[in-house]
Amino acid sequence: MKPIIDVVISGWGSYIPIYRLPVEEIARIWGTSVDHIKRELLIYEKSIAGIDEDVATIAVEAAKNSLKRAKINPSELGAVFVGTETKPYAVKPTGTIVAEAIGATPKILAADFEFACKAGTECLQCCIALVGSNMIKYGMAIGADVAEGAPADPLEYSAGSGGTAIIVGNKNYEKEPVALLEGSVSYVTDTPDFWRRPKESYPSHAEAFTGDPAYFKHTISATKLLMEELGLRPSDFKYAVFHQPNGKFPLRVAKMLGFNREQIECGLIVPYVGNLYSGSSLTGFSAVLDIAMPGDRILLVSYGSGAGSDAFSFIVQDGIIAKRDNAPKVMDYIKRKKTIDYAIYCKLRGKIW
């Protein structure tokens, strides 16, 4: 897929809450083997939203960071989309909360997207379409979650909090483009590998079924489709970012597709913050933009259970240099942390009240 008009990334910004829960703490509670978890999941700790944080607050902070880099007036935004599976309200848009808080209301399209962990890149696809059809000048795509796994479930070790906002602009207007979109694809099937029914607090999953027929099939298919459409090979990319439900899946999918560890390493944030769900691949991508140089080609592949993948190819532009230092980088947020124990985790996330 490619829009009629060339679209670029005009700004990007992430946010990761300050609190970290080491997997040792979770293992301590449930008596599991921590070495096994670290080895199998490649996760050391996960980020935890504070007691006064939710997807709206995380999205706002990421959005403000992206605006600092895009250097645009928020009123120039024509769309704010928030992709999440942990909306603060079941009914009431998060997009309006974000749009208002960043000063982008009222002449703006605002909506929430849900597609398990893929909602963030869906927002990106839609912004690309709106900007690429010249309906809007700038669009903001946010992927954010305050994900939680059920107590003692394997997902409890990985489900983290954080998010990223990407501002999509029109190449013809953007003086300092960050990255040019080469093309994108979406690949979906009805594959119920992970879900959450209404009124349930925690998601459910089909265990090992989340692997081959779900995560691997969709990410591999989307990536192959994209490379086919654009006539590219893995070696054409400087960086590749795959959805990161744990550390192992993206490493394995990269290997299966023919990408090496160097290409994916700098976008691999899951060992330090856990799975950010809708914010996962976008925050990995954001970490790559924090260090990429003009000319670098970046592959971004999301995965959402249910199931589907969006794949994008971007070529980094000169504008990235002048914008990069205008907001905190993903690595800055990873380093900024306060370690908490399981009891505080329960308090912060409202598990005991």
Partner 1 sequence: MSVPRYWRCIPQRIKMEALKCKSCGKTIYPPRARCIYCGGNDFETYVIPEKGRLISFSIIRHAPIGFEHTTPYVVGIVEFENGLRISSQITDVDINELKIGMEVEQVFRKVTEDGKSGIIQYAIKFRPIFQNI
Residues contributing to the site for partner 1 (CB under 8 A): 18, 50-54, 56-57, 60-61, 64, 68, 88-89, 97, 100-101, 103, 325-328, 332, 336, 338, 347, 350, 353
Nearer to partner 1, 57 or 302 (CB): 57
The catalytic residue among 61, 76, 117, 148 is 117
Nearer to partner 1, 295 or 350 (CB): 350
Nearer to partner 1, 100 or 114 (CB): 100
The catalytic residue among 25, 127, 174, 243 is 243
- In angstroms, what is the minimal distance from the CB of 53 to partner 1? 7
In this structure, the number of other CB atoms found within 10 A of the CB of residue 151 comes to: 13
Q: What is the DSSP string of 148-213?
A: -PPTTSGGGGTB-EEEEEEEEEETTT-SS-SEEEEEEEEEEEEE-SEE--TT-SS-EE-GGGGIII
DSSP 8-state secondary structure symbol assigned to residue 35: H
- In angstroms, what is the minimal distance from the CB of 323 to partner 1? 12
Nearer to partner 1, 171 or 337 (CB): 337
The catalytic residue among 25, 61, 85, 176 is 85
Tokens 């009805």, residue? 190
Is 114 assigned a catalytic role? Answer: no
Task: Name every residue whose Cβ is closer than 8 Å to that of residue 102 and which is 6 or more positions away in sequence.
Answer: 60, 63, 64, 67, 74, 80
Is 262 assigned a catalytic role? Answer: no
- In angstroms, what is the minimal distance from the CB of 52 to partner 1? 4
First to last CA, the chain: 47
Residue 146 burial by CB count (10 A; 0-12/13-18/19+): exposed, middle or buried? buried
Give dist(CA 31, CA 85) in Å, integer.
29
Give dist(CA 346, CA 349) in Å, integer.
5
Nearer to partner 1, 5 or 51 (CB): 51
Is 205 assigned a catalytic role? Answer: no
Residues designated as active site = 85, 117, 243
